[in-house]
A and B are shown apart, each in its own frame.
Chain A
């Protein structure tokens, strides 16, 4: 992805869903018409973003819960989660404040 489309650190992401089930750290969420099964990492991200959170704060939250990722930057990991969930309607990105 080019830098022009990189999600900024201060972008606020927010999660929403219509119904959800949790089992063993995983979550199944219904958002609009889409049902999405979330890994424990994605589930943590979605719960953290319920009331809005910046990308950088989300990365810190994920590191706190799962530790520093071995193969990449924590911010990139958070961005990947967000970008996977936006098309599913589970997360939206708001303009940086």
Chain B
């Protein structure tokens, strides 16, 4: 299924009979998404069973679990899994490892998009993603490779059925809350009424690779968020302009106020740190959606010379782009650490967003503005892409990075995985090939530490002259 911006991200929860875990998962995830203002038009959650009897009713224990966590079990009817359902699904969340393997065996198209509930939580844990949801399955699959993940939760034994069911329910509910929080910021955008784009109440306007995003802060902590946001996003903030899209975010300690705001589709958090953490992917994804089909948008860090020549370092999320940008950005102009947007004629549209830096306490990363990290500012004038490198951090490499020229198709195969909405680009692979050939091909660089890349920069910048 081609990626489409503006249409629902389709999630299917699968187990054997569609009367237990998958039913509870469907109803609880829907509940928590709905409570965050994310309706089925943006993320569509359904369920099915590998061996389900169509129309079967939900197990009583599943019903109890759903209602215990405030969900609704009404109107549920089991359904069996078909090829058509599989083809229409973007992401599969499966009850157990055995069921995941069986799903993929019966429906090969589910391969690479199927994760158990346990795997799902482990893969997302600590992953800083700022990409449309449609790209998440491929990101998670890449992360799964080479990792020894527990496919199933540790649960009370089957002999203690009721206790086991409630333990499963608790885990599903915890996961659903967490998923809903993360996904709400990156879900396909709701349609914004034109009058909501022209009002002048925005706390600030952010320029993300040419897209003007109006950020509206509200709640008791709205002013504090606005101040923190302006500081961290300082290099992207513009004073005037017409908004292309908007993000609404609230900070308040009052639980009722947060719930009311979430129901309106506002990203709502109890403190500024959490709001800042989720604001960054929200702005990035909104901006990406505005430029689908018109820009090549890569998961890449970008650094520029004083002349405006840009080297892009392409790598999957969570593999060191921010550290690389932070390290090289002390010597070369910081263009972005996440989304490198390239227009016709290799013009790079900058996105000097805050960098996520692991804080001293807690798992939440702090958002540091490039100014606070003393990164080099952008040079005046046009930025032009001169080199793209696929980078891979490898502790086994010596202090001198290993650089390999890649054959075109091999390079493109890797690069394509890091392109947002490739299927919506005009000429698709041909556009990408033209871009790569215009900068002299792709190189792969394996490196140990980000600082080891610094001596390579002159040759990378020189290479395309």
Q: Which residues of A contact B (CB under 8 A)?
A: 5, 18-21, 23-24, 26-28, 30, 32-33, 35-37, 83, 86-87, 89
Q: Give chain A residues whose Cβ lies under 8 Å from the Cβ of B147.
A: none
> Does more than half of chain B's interface fall in helix, strand or loop, or is it mixed?
helix
Is there a chain A Cβ closer than 8 Å to B142's Cβ? Answer: no
Distance in Å from the Cβ of B323 to the closest Cβ of chain A? 27
Residues of B within 8 A of A37 (CB): 409-410, 413
> Is the CB–CB distance between A35 and B108 below 8 Å?
no
Query: Are A23 and B409 CB-contacts (below 8 A) given A28-B429, A35-B429?
Result: yes
* Those 3 A-B pairs whose CB atoms lie nearest each other, nearest first: A35-B416, A87-B111, A19-B428
A-B pairs with beta carbons under 8 Å apart, 20 shown: A5-B105, A18-B428, A19-B429, A19-B430, A21-B409, A21-B429, A21-B430, A23-B408, A23-B409, A24-B407, A26-B409, A28-B412, A28-B413, A30-B429, A33-B2, A83-B108, A86-B108, A86-B109, A87-B108, A89-B109
The smallest beta-carbon distance between B92 and chain A, in angstroms, is 13
Q: How many residues of B contact A (CB 8 A)?
A: 27
Q: Which of chain A's residues has its CB closest to B423's CB?
A: A33
Asked whether, in the complex, the Cβ of B433 is within 8 Å of the Cβ of A21, the reply is: yes
Please tell me if the beta carbons of A32 and B2 are within 8 angstroms of each other in the complex.
Answer: yes
Contact of A35 among B104, B413, B427 (CB under 8 A): B413
CB closest residue in chain B, given A37: B413
Give A86 to B86 CA distance when docked, in angstroms.
13
Q: Determine the chain A residues whose CB is within 8 A of the CB of B110 once the complex forms.
A: 87
Q: Are A21 and B412 in contact (CB under 8 A)?
A: yes
Q: Which residues of B contact A33 (CB under 8 A)?
A: 1-3, 134, 138, 422-423
Contact status A28-B409, CB under 8 Å: yes
Q: B87 to nearest A CB, angstroms?
A: 9
Chain A residues whose CB sits within 8 angstroms of the CB of B108 once the complex forms: 83, 86-87
Contact surface of B with A, Cβ cutoff 8 Å:
1-3, 104-105, 108-112, 134, 138, 407-410, 412-413, 416-417, 422-423, 427-430, 433
Query: Smallest CB–CB gap between A24 and chain B, Å?
Result: 8
Q: Within the assembled complex, what's the spacing in Å between the Cα atoms of A4 and B435? A: 47
Nearest Cβ on chain B to A55's Cβ, whole angstroms? 15
Which residues does chain B contribute within 8 Å of A21, judged by CB atoms?
Answer: 408-409, 412, 429-430, 433
Extra contacts, 5 of them, besides A19-B427, A23-B408 (Cβ < 8 A), are A5-B105, A24-B407, A26-B409, A35-B429, A87-B108
A-side contacts of B408, CB under 8 Å:
21, 23
Q: Is the interface of A mostly helix, strand, loop or mixed?
A: strand
Are the C-beta atoms of B109 and A35 separated by less than 8 Å?
no
- Chain B residues in 8 Å Cβ range of A19: 427-430
Task: Collect the chain A residues with CB atoms within 8 Å of residue B413's CB.
Answer: 28, 35-37
Docked CA distance A20–B409 (Å) = 10
Residues on A with C-beta less than 8 A from B423 are: 18, 30, 32-33
**Which A-chain residue is minimally distant from B107 (CB atoms)?**
A87
In angstroms, how far is the closest chain A Cβ from the Cβ of B346? 20
Of the listed residues A23, A35, A36, A89, the one surrounded by the most CB atoms of chain B closer than 10 A to its CB is A35
Which residues of B have CB within 8 Å of A30?
Answer: 416, 422-423, 428-429
A32–B104 Cα distance when bound, in Å, is: 18
Q: Complex: how many Å from CA A83 to CA B107? A: 11
B297 to chain A, nearest CB (A): 15
A84's nearest neighbour on chain B, judged by CB, is B108
Closest Cβ–Cβ distance, residue A86 to chain B (whole Å): 5
A26 to B110, CA, bound (A): 26
What separation, in Å, do the CA atoms of A27 and B3 have in the docked complex? 22
Q: How far is the CA of A2 from the CA of B63 in the complex (A)?
A: 38
Chain B residues with CB below 8 A from A18, complex form? 2, 423, 428
Query: Cβ of B105: which chain A residues have Cβ within 8 Å of it?
Result: 5
Pairwise interchain contact A35-B409, C-beta atoms closer than 8 A: no
Cα(A41)–Cα(B208), bound, Å = 44
A90–B412 CA distance with the chains assembled, in angstroms: 17
The smallest C-beta distance from B292 to any residue of chain A, in angstroms, reads 13
In this complex, the member of B1, B2, B409, B412 whose beta carbon has the largest number of chain A beta carbons within 10 angstroms is B409
A30–B426 Cα distance when bound, in Å, is 13
Q: What residues of chain B lie closer than 8 Å to A35, measured between beta carbons?
A: 412-413, 416-417, 422, 429
Distance, CA A20 to CA B432, complexed state (A): 11
Cβ A87 vs Cβ B112 within 8 A: yes
A28-B409, A33-B423 known; A20 vs B109 contact (CB < 8 Å): no
Contacting pair A23 B407 (CB below 8 A):
yes
Cα distance A87–B413 in the bound complex, in angstroms? 17
B444 to chain A, nearest CB (A): 14
Complex CA distance for A32 and B412, rounded to whole angstroms: 16
- Most chain A beta-carbon neighbours within 10 Å: one of B408, B429, B430: B429
